């Protein structure tokens, strides 16, 4: 059997590059980005067109969303039902779109992020504005149509939208290597700006902004960077800062409630619940102690988030904290990217209006050319009928004398009288002079007898006069750009009058939010941590009253300032700092909080070697000793850091810190090894180093030996330890030198 298949050899990288570019362009043009002319993505355009074709008008009953989705997918958009239904849902949500295009009936989701019900439960129909401003004139050949995916239907390449929908409803979409993000605007302002551009095409962006103040988000809010909007509209890119709207209400006991009535546009959906969690976290992390209660009282009437504050709280300062630490102040990234002349292009405000106005002129030209042609046809027929009424007796004679329709039509058009029986020779001569057109002859042959009534003839004459007026008007519109512009502007004004609404978003220049933390009265308190790692702080008086119990029950006890930090050194050479304010302050019998919970310290990976206050560290020198007998003295000021975790010392491989101490009256040090060697020498032999140094060797060790314990001796004070069932006096050990082997102590 002969194999007719061909194997095409090609460079793999070239094939991948070509295929990826084809895929990327398909996503960009046919999926993700809107056309600047109608402001619609293909899935949105197809959904609206399908609803138009199904006759689901604003004044007709709702139809099941599943019916619309199925029909759209089967005819125009074979990319899955979820993308079609998602776009239908979004086009019906008044909190996402400045001007919803679909009238949804049922659960179409809400501003708090709850999704729409399944498409089998919901119903939809077109909004009146969609029918009148988006889909009107489709029957007048005003836009091009193309075959659908299987070439069984025709679909419009663009809808004849009469308004700059790209600006009014905005758009968001992610393509391959690019994304579009255009904020919604106020319909009335956009129409005013479009009319201003039509009157003066040399108008500047700054002048256009007399009409378009800035974005108009359906959720309201306050745009706070008014002075930056000009550059954003010039370039089509930038960041819009937007805040929620806050009101203050007095409540019982002289308290003040902070009530959020409008949210930033990016907070739509699940970000509202995240905002509530963020506010609660501010209280839990002690960023603020002003919050008494928080509740979300939002309903169909609008957003209402109530935060109850303490009586002595500063509400304005608290709101500034919300602006800085939560999404109550957010940014909307603008990238006005759209398909223009078949290519993706980032467009400024003026460029968008130019594209839309050019499109309006193109649509109007095609519309009135089509209407003019129809009126010319009507005029021809009307003139034929009027002429026929004047010689109606002759025409009746021709019809009665003809054998068939063709013979009669030939006589009316070409004056052929062969075969036709006339009553008189004069009638035959007059018949040869009839010169009707084909359309006129057909109209005459199809004319009904009642049209010969006087009133009907009068109506025909009036209709002809109306047709002539229309022809004159259409010719004027097509001949003069000013006339066409006036027609377009009149339509825009009607749309603005019927569908325009007041601006929701305020535009202003707001100062950056500044939060002033409450000044805390600095005082000395006691830090306590038990052997289980639970830490707390108590005031000095409480400690003095419970001194014996506190000393017996806790492993670490020291003074610290309530505004300071606690420094925790571990055996792996790490320093963890903890804000004293993060520790619970209260009663002596309170349990406290695990030290792991307020620091980066992990008891599973490291052990505490030394714990003290930052204040104490700044006043002393620190002595470090490791298991491999590396030693150094470090100035405590080096550990005055703000980071939560830093390296306190440098360790050799396999080494760990055995002892850290603040040097005060200690004069000598005793190192004890696992093998039972002891070395006593003067602390002054240990050099001062930086915290990043390894240090010097303190004692010569055997191959498998290491330093196990470290002891410190003060002048004139006897120090002893229990060792192998006897009491070992450390002062009695032979005084040696650093970096010597020491002596072995036997039982």
Q: Point out the residues that are catalytic.
A: 121
Helices (H), 326-391: 349-390
Kind of pairing, strands 506-507 and 222-223? parallel
DSSP state, residue 509: B
CA distance 694 to 692: 7
Annotate 156-179 with DSSP letters as a single string.
ESS---SS-HHHHT-EEEE-SS-E
What's the angle, vertex CA 473, arms to CA 144 and CA 365, rounded to 5?
Answer: 20
CA distance 747 to 22: 86
CA dihedral sign of residues 552, 553, 554, 560: negative
Which tokens in the block code for residue 743?
């002596």
CA dihedral sign of residues 501, 505, 506, 509: negative
CA distance 106 to 53: 23
Which tokens in the block code for residue 181?
């993000």
CB 593 within 8 A of CB 535: yes
Annotate 277-288 with DSSP letters as a single string.
HHHHHHHHTTS-
CA distance 195 to 621: 78
Kind of pairing, strands 608-613 and 645-647? unpaired
Task: Report the first-to-last Cα separation within the chain, whole angstroms.
Answer: 100
Q: How many CA atoms lie within 13 A of 365 on its CB side?
A: 10
Place of tokens 């003290």: 612
CA distance 695 to 626: 10
3-state secondary structure of 217: coil
Residues in contact with 362: Cβ distance below 8 Å, sequence separation at least 6, in sequence order: none
CB 583 within 8 A of CB 536: yes
3-state secondary structure of 735: strand
């Amino acid at each position: 059997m002969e194999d007719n298949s061909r194997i095409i050899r090609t460079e793999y990288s070239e094939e991948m590059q070509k295929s990826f570019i084809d895929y990327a362009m398909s996503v960009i043009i046919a999926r993700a980005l809107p056309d600047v002319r109608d402001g619609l993505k293909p899935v949105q355009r197809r959904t609206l067109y399908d609803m138009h074709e199904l006759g689901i008008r604003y004044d007709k009953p709702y139809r099941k969303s599943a019916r619309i989705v199925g029909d759209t997918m089967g005819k125009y958009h074979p990319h899955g039902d979820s993308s079609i239904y998602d776009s239908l849902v979004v086009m019906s949500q008044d909190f996402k779109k400045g001007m919803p295009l679909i009238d949804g009936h049922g659960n179409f989701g809400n501003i708090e992020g709850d999704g729409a019900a399944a498409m089998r439960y919901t119903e939809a129909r077109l909004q009146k504005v969609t029918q009148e401003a988006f889909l009107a004139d489709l029957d007048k050949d005003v836009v091009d149509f193309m075959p659908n995916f299987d070439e069984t239907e025709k679909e419009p390449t663009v809808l004849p939208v009469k308004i700059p929908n790209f600006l009014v409803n905005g758009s968001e979409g992610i393509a391959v290597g690019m994304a579009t993000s255009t904020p919604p605007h106020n319909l009335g302002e956009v129409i005013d700006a479009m009319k201003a551009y039509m009157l003066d095409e040399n108008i500047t962006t700054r002048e256009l902004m007399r009409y378009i103040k800035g974005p108009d988000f359906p959720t309201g809010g306050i745009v706070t960077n008014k002075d930056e909007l000009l550059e954003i509209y010039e370039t089509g890119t930038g960041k819009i800062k937007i805040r929620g709207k806050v009101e203050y209400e007095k409540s019982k006991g002289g308290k003040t409630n902070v009530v959020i009535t409008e949210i930033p546009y990016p907070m739509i959906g699940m970000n509202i619940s995240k905002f509530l969690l963020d506010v609660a976290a501010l209280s839990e992390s002690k960023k603020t102690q002003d919050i008494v209660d928080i509740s979300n009282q939002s309903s169909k009437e609008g957003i209402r988030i109530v935060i109850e504050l303490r009586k002595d709280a500063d509400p304005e300062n608290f709101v500034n904290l919300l602006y800085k630490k939560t999404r109550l102040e957010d940014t909307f990234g603008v990238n006005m990217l759209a398909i223009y002349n078949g290519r993706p292009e980032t467009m400024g405000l003026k460029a968008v209006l130019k594209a839309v106005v050019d499109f309006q002129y193109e649509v109007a030209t095609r519309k009135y050319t089509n209407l003019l042609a129809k009126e010319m046809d009507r005029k021809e027929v009307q003139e034929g009928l009027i002429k026929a009424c004047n010689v109606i007796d002759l025409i009746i004679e021709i019809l009665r004398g003809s054998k068939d329709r063709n013979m009669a039509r030939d006589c009316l058009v070409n004056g052929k009288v062969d075969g036709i029986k006339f009553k008189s020779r004069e009638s035959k001569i007059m018949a040869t002079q009839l010169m009707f057109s084909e359309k006129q002859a057909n109209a005459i042959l199809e004319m009904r007898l009642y049209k010969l009534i006087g009133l009907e003839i009068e109506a025909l004459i009036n209709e002809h006069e109306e047709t002539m007026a229309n022809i004159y008007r259409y010719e004027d519109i097509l001949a003069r750009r000013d006339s066409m512009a006036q027609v377009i502007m009149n339509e825009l004004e009607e749309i603005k009058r019927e569908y325009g609404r007041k601006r929701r978003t305020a535009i202003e220049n707001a100062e950056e939010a500044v939060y002033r933390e409450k000044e805390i009265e600095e005082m000395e308190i006691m830090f306590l941590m038990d052997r289980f790692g639970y830490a707390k702080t108590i005031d000095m008086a409480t400690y003095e009253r419970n001194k014996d119990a506190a000393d017996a029950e806790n492993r670490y006890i020291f003074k610290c300032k309530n505004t300071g930090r606690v420094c925790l050194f571990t055996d792996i050479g790490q320093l963890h700092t903890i804000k004293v304010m993060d520790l619970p302050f209260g009663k002596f019998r309170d349990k406290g909080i695990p030290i792991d919970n307020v620091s980066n310290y992990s008891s599973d990976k490291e052990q505490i070697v030394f714990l003290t206050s930052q204040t104490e560290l700044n006043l002393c020198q620190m002595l470090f000793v490791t298991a491999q007998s590396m030693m150094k003295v470090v100035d405590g000021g080096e550990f005055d850091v703000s980071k939560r975790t830093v390296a306190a010392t440098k360790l050799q491989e396999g080494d760990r810190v055995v002892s850290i101490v603040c040097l005060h009256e200690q004069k000598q040090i005793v190192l004890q090894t696992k093998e039972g060697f002891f070395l006593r020498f003067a602390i002054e032999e240990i050099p001062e180093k930086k915290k990043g140094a390894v240090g010097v060797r303190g004692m010569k060790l055997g191959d498998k030996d290491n330093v196990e314990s470290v002891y410190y001796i003060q002048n004139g004070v006897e120090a002893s330890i229990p060792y192998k069932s006897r009491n070992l006096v450390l002062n009695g050990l032979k005084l040696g030198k650093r970096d010597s082997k020491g002596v072995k102590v036997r039982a």
